Structures are given as C-alpha cells and as structure tokens.
Amino acid sequence: MKVIIGSRGSALALWQANWARKKLARAYPDLSVEIEVIKTEGDRLSEIPLSQIGGKEVWTKEIELALLSGSIDLAVHSLKDMPTKLPKGLVLGAISAREDARDVLVSKNDRVFWDLPEGATVATSSLRRQAQLKHARPDLNFVAIRGNVDTRLKKLETENLDGIILAAAGLKRLGLGDRIADFIDPEICLPAPGQAALGIEIREDDDRITDLVGVLNCAETLQAVTAERAMLAALGGDCSVPIGGYAAVDKASVDVLMLSGIVATPDGRRVISERAEGRASSAEQLGMRVAKGLIEQGARDILDQDG
C-alpha cells in the first residue's frame, strides 16, 4: 500500500514531511510512503510581506487542491500557517507533539534582546512579532524579511541587520539551535496560535488515511492548539492583524489548560491581553472565552480598523 504526502519544498517543510514519513514507515513496515513537493503562492511571492499577499491560504491552497483531487493522500503543514476554517471536505487528521513554541533572536555577536543597542535594526516576517517586540522596545528599528530559514540567516550579514526574529521550532528542527542568541519570553512575545505544532491535513471521508495518521497525533498538543485556534477563529484574525495565543497544560493538573491571548496594533502602541484557564476537555470553549475577554477590552476596534 502506498501513501503520498504533499509538502512545500523548503528545507523546513521537507523536514516536517520526512518526520511524518518516518513515523508512518516505523508504525507500518509494509507501507510505501512518498513525498510530493508542491509550490505554493507564498513560495512564489517570497519577497512580498506576508501582510500584503493575503491570508494563510497562500501557504496551503495548492497543496489542498492536490489533496482534494486525490493526487496526494495527506499534507503536513506548520499549523500556525493553516487557516482556522479548512476547505469543504478536508479536516485535521492529527496534530504532532509540539516543539519549543517560543520565538528567538539570532543576532550579531550573540547579543540578547535586551542588550541590543538603541536603534538596532531587527528583521521579522511577522506583524505579531514586530508589534509585541516594538511594544517592549520602541527604540528598535523593525524591518520586514522573507524567505526560508537559510535565506533569512544569510540576510543577517548581507543586509546589515543586527538581529532576526525566528521560531525556535524551525531552527531546532533544522539542527540550527546553536544560532539562537536569545529565547524571547512569551510574556514579552506571545507565539502564534499553533506555533511549533504540525497539522496533518486529510480528506474527511478517507477512512484508510484517517486510521493511519493516528500514530502522528499528540493528544495534549491537540487540546492546547484547539483552544488557540478557537480563540483565533472567534477573533476572525489573519496575517494582517497581530494576534498571539498560547495554551499549555497546567503542571498541577493535566486536565487544566492555561490560555493566553493578545491582540495588538501593528505599531505596538496598544497591546490587549487576556488569560484564562479551563478544562482541557473543553478547550474550544476556553478559546472562545479568551476571545470574548479580548473583545470586551477593545480588541474589536483594532480588528475593525484593519478591515
């Protein structure tokens, strides 16, 4: 029996697809698993800021069309790049165990965030990162950057940057953890909903693949990202609005989730935050409750200004 995984062609995307391939191959020795590389709109428009090229569909649309047509059997995505509403006929079949969800700084001379000199130029592809970090340090100069991880790391030198903000998970998965100068505390920069988890997308009516991908699922991560994505869906946000969300199981009780969320203006002058806890088994309701708390504090004004 053969299974075809659809993936983008970057080194990180292929690492993620190979993670799924190896895990499926170990669980099912008689299964043949192949990877098909699919170029997305986000890849083709690699030099345009994310906030200007549309929603998260730019990373997933072409892969989802291949999935719906039957030319691939499953897709492996960075969950933070997936819209909260999937195309009709597609579902999340599994969520991987989460890597380190924090954002990190890669910098010249390994300076940490708080030691960057006044006026230092810091690059990031994310309005969410820019808004929160600008709120913490309005003296820094933030600029946009695009490209895969290797391209961004090279730009640290070629574009005379003082630092780049990236996801810890991507660097660790690519074996580049030694490039990290500083881990950014989530109290300063809350991750994107779903950050550091992988989403396994499948056809809703494909029982064969549904059964196979169960070995890729992590129940604890699934509960956490369900809360985060429910919050994001209730807010109706996308790449053009700085929204952060992170949920984790309370160490004192495995059935309690703690969820933090923020909505910010792109210039970082206003950051609205909300935190709540709830039963892990009611993760979706917790996400909606945090979204409601953010809206009650004025988040709708920020979201409507963007629209």
pLDDT of residue 307 exceeding 50? no
pLDDT of residue 210 exceeding 90? yes
pLDDT tens per residue across span 129-166: 999 999 999 999 999 987 888 889 999 989 989 999 99
pLDDT category at 125 given cuts 50, 70, 90 is confident
Spans of all domains in the chain: 2-96+197-217, 103-183, 226-306
Q: How far apart are CA 170 and CA 19, in angstroms?
A: 13
pLDDT of residue 281 exceeding 60? yes
Q: What is residue 39's predicted lDDT score, i.e. its pLDDT?
A: 83
Q: What is residue 56's predicted lDDT score, i.e. its pLDDT?
A: 59
pLDDT of residue 238 exceeding 70? no
Which residues have C-beta within 8 Å of that of residue 187, sequence separation ≥ 6?
none
Catalytic (active site) residue 81: yes
Average pLDDT for residues 267-278, to the nearest whole number?
95
In terms of Cα–Cα distance, which of 147, 236, 230, 144 is closest to 193?
A: 230
Taking CA atoms, 62 is separated from 59, 72, 80, 87, 163, in Å, by: 8, 11, 17, 12, 33
* CATH 3.10.20.30 for the 103-183 domain, yes or no: no
Architecture (CATH level 2) of domain 226-306: 2-Layer Sandwich (3.30)
Least confident range from 23-27, 203-207, 275-279, 303-307: namely 303-307
pLDDT tens per residue across span 30-85: 999 999 999 877 665 555 555 555 555 676 889 999 999 999 999 999 999 888 99
pLDDT category at 220 given cuts 50, 70, 90 is very high
Q: Please state, for a pLDDT cut of 70, what percent of the chain lies above it.
A: 92
pLDDT of residue 295 exceeding 90? yes
Q: Say which DSSP state 176 is in.
A: -
Exposure class string for 87-107: b at 16+ Cβ within 10 A, else e: eeebebbbbbebbbbbbbbbb
At the top level of CATH, which class does the domain 2-96+197-217 belong to?
alpha beta
Q: What is residue 42's predicted lDDT score, i.e. its pLDDT?
A: 62
Beta strands in 25-150 (DSSP E): 32-37, 74-78, 90-95, 103-107, 121-124, 141-144
Q: What is residue 305's predicted lDDT score, i.e. its pLDDT?
A: 76
pLDDT tens per residue across span 81-114: 888 999 999 999 999 999 999 999 999 999 999 9
User: What are residue 182's DSSP bridge partners?
Assistant: 105
Q: How far apart are CA 86 and CA 82, in angstroms?
A: 8
pLDDT of residue 297 exceeding 60? yes
Q: Give the active site residue among 30, 43, 81, 162.
A: 81
Q: Crossing angle for the helix pair 149-158 and 11-27, nearest 10 degrees?
A: 150
Q: Please state, for a pLDDT cut of 90, what percent of the chain lies above it.
A: 79
Tell me the pLDDT of the chain averaged across its residues: 91
Please state the pTM of the whole predicted model. Answer: 0.91
Average pLDDT for residues 288-305, to the nearest whole number?
93
2-96+197-217 and 103-183, same CATH topology: yes
C-alpha dihedral sign at 265, 267, 240, 63: negative
H/E element, 148: none
User: What are residue 244's DSSP bridge partners?
Assistant: 262
pLDDT category at 254 given cuts 50, 70, 90 is confident
